[in-house]
Structure 1
């Protein structure tokens, strides 16, 4: 259990020599969170999601946001955590009596409902990379790694530290351990505010109780903890310090969770049978008054209001209207006055890793996450088997006759097509698969988008060198292509340029659409068009569509390979004049950088949280 956060060391303990900090770190800055008459509307649909929500939570407390599905509790959590555009918020939300600012990002931890983690990284690797990315530059790498070990110890993760996180197709840690890793990822920066969305979702009752107890221990270390909860057990319910009950975006109760039942009894609502308090409150919020004693005024409203109403949602209106009115008349807790000492605290942003350090960390993390792909037998089998088939079909091809030269030109075209097709359909998965992680980490301001983009697009380069090298070693010598070091090197360079251009197209399509099915469909159409316009099937393309071949990397790669292989052998092949190939090289380089620039700009335009 988290009896005391290792990063929070009292000054008197240090002076007395009872405790030595493992590295110098600021104690948790106490943040008092207050919100008054908060409203939130979706401008497109003109729909009110939250209406007049007020409350407060102090350091050392755990506030639970409870309500039925669709009541607005996740929206309120995101709003308080700074994950919603401030321009669309009505009312006021203050942190130590100051509005939200970017400096707060380094003081906020936000645990999403779904555990967004890399499945092939171990627990230790996951927390270590988070520490290296987020902790201040003033700390050494060893101190950051020690912080990760401390958090693992605090959360009871030592036993599974070398176990992969796991996912849908990868066996890994348990659900409770996965949730603790997600929490560890956030508390590693020693946040003042910790937000959690449904942290007990999918956990058994015992694990859920341990998770909530852990949140209390985190709060005792001086942090302010806010969590959504759907339908807690009675033991969980009594474990919260404060409670907000929402119904269709309206505030039905804010106060101490221990006083919730007394409050609803005071307005005439009480269970007729023994019930879990949370179940009772959710029934009321849903407008379900079966097995609940209600005042005669509410009974009359329900009977009169339900006449002619058919849907369950409409039938719940009278109950919710009564509860909202009752709370307005009898508010239990107003936001408490701010502690003067905390009011004087100034937020200072902590600068994490530099751009180069971010790039190196993200490159290393990406390489480790995808190492199972790099060393999988599937891509090697696919490439080598294709190379062997080509070698057998074009075995010892002879270019001394026009027919033989034409046949070998077909092989050259297939090489251009294969290394234009294969990388596109590998690259389109890159950004859509990591969309949730990118959203989460960008919202936390963990790194610059440019550092992530460069790391993500270069961490695949090792495999990009290995596979074409193996492919060419097999095909080149089985088919009697031009055997000498210079043509072989130029052939490899041409194929590599084609791979980078095709990868860029795949990255751009994936970044623009951010949907694997849509991206695959669009990529199929584009690649097929590029292949048909590649200069082998149709030599004379109609003028109105001839522009397609000039943006086709297959076309430029095919022409360049012909020039590499047959320079000095023929003056032209299939209408391609054999010259130095500078035009084709320039075209491929422009595509390499142009497609990647398009992908980067598409990621920049992507709204966080979408």
Structure 2
């Protein structure tokens, strides 16, 4: 009974928005989304996280995330990809955090801008007993300004539903893995993942951090989501995504990539299209029919020989990946 009461309370909260919900066609023209303001660019230096037992998770990571771009953070397991997001947000409370952060050129903590910061966790946080539209409407009502009218918020929800390709399931219950086999109208796992992303998009954040939003999705669904994120970047949103072993067609949709090696050190940051030429220039050869994104991860894991230096080791020595990147790109290693 208690759970049923909570469910009804949620429904009453979002009901006014549902009453004026747009029922238009499949046009991709936005109703409410306009240019993202303010536009936020981040620059950081020396970001590090050390656990209480002395284990270093991140070691002096430098980089920048610019507005109007979708950036991929890649690296092998344990490289500190998610920890970097937590450190920048000020939520890495499980260890000692160090480093400096500039927001549009002004040094400050990102936590001060929490209202314009979005975060999509790896695990879904949807209300499984509500429909897709109810979930998004509830989030819009909680996250948006009180002065924004219900008609406008409904248009925002419509925009997100259209953007994420959820129009045909907007009135379906999101459900869960357990309920999916029992309810005919339950959403699939991929649709549920899109709803999870939509919960943040309705808030129209200036900066959106995402932790493996495409995990568990097939390549086509992952490509669709990245294409949607690029549309938001075109409006000025700064989108940073942790991603694990994407196919190359997905990898190519990112504007830039930050590649972390073991112990959380920067092995490369730059345009996604520049990653392969960079590694070739320092002595690595891409095997035939190899996914370049997998190739990069193999390099930082020490699984690929360097033809220019047979004694190459990714983490130590004068020709380690981290030292080499500082030599080739000193402006990105300050």
Q: TM-score range by the shorter chain?
A: 0.7 to 0.9
Report the counterpart of residue 75 of structure 2 in structure 1. 67
The Cα shift of 1:82 comes to 3.8
1:136 is aligned to 145
In 2: Cα distance, 1:28 partner to 1:294 partner: 48
Please list every run of at least 4 consecutive aligned residues from structure 1 whose deviation after the TM superposition is greater than 6 angstroms.
Answer: 1-4
TM-score, normalised to structure 2, is 0.83
Query: Is the partner of 2:273 in helix, strand or coil?
Result: helix
Alignment of 1:430-445 (within 5 A): none
Is 1:295 aligned to 2:308, yes or no? yes
| Larger fraction in helix | 1
Report 1:105-504 matches (<5 A): 105-171=114-180, 172-248=186-262, 249-289=264-304, 292-296=305-309, 299-300=310-311, 317-318=315-316, 322-331=320-329, 334=332
1:92 counterpart SS class: strand
Q: CA deviation at 1:37?
A: 2.0
Inter-partner Cα distance in structure 2 for 1:335 and 1:286: 21
Measured in 2, the distance between the counterparts of 1:178 and 1:219 equals 22
Query: CA shift at 1:101, angstroms?
Result: 5.0
Q: Structure 1 residue 128: deviation in Å?
A: 1.1
Match of 1:46 in 2: 54
Quote the Cα distance in structure 1 between the aligned partners of 2:256 and 2:243.
12
How far is 1:110 from its partner? 0.6
CA drift of 1:155 comes to 2.3
Aligned match of 2:64: 56
Q: Whole-Å Cα distance in 2 between the matches of residues 201 and 9 of structure 1? A: 29
**Do the aligned partners of 1:255 and 1:333 also contact (CA within 8 Å) in 2?**
no
Q: Secondary structure at the match of 1:271?
A: coil
Moved more, 264-273 or 247-256: 264-273
Among 5, 11, 34, the residue aligned to 1:9: 34
Note the alpha carbon deviations across 1:514-534, whole angstroms, 9 max, x for none.
xxxxxxxxxxxxxxxxxxxxx
Query: Alpha-carbon deviation of 1:3?
Result: 6.2
Q: Is there any run of 5+ residues in structure 2 with no aligned partner, and where?
A: 1-25, 181-185
CA contact (8 A) 2:31 2:155 kept: no
Q: Could you say if the C-alpha distance between residues 158 and 320 of structure 1 is closer, same or farther in structure 2, counting changes exceeding 3 Å?
A: farther
Residues 239 and 147 of structure 1: CA distance in aligned 2, closer, same or farther (over 3 Å): closer
Counterpart contact for 2:74–2:242, Cα < 8 Å? yes
| CA distance in structure 2 between the partners assigned to 1:73 and 1:56 by the alignment | 15
Structure 2 counterparts to residues 477-556 of structure 1, below 5 A = none
Give secondary structure in 2 for the equivalent of 1:90: strand
User: Which whole-Å deviations, capped at 9, do the CAs of 1:205-226 have from their partners, x for residues lacking one?
Assistant: 1111111111111111110010
Shift of 1:293: 4.3
Asked whether 1:97 is paired with 2:105, we answer yes
1:582 is matched with: none
Alpha-carbon distance in 1 for matches of 2:301, 2:110: 36
The alignment covers a number of residue pairs equal to 302
Q: Decide which structure has the larger Cα Rg and report it.
A: 1
TM norm structure 1: 0.47
- CA distance in structure 2 between the aligned counterparts of 1:59 and 1:266, rounded to whole angstroms: 29
Q: Is the 8 A contact 2:70 2:240 kept in 1?
A: yes
Q: How far apart are the structure 2 equivalents of 1:121 and 1:192?
A: 27
Write the distance in 1 (CA, Å) between the matches of 2:201 and 2:82: 20
* Aligned twin of 2:18: none
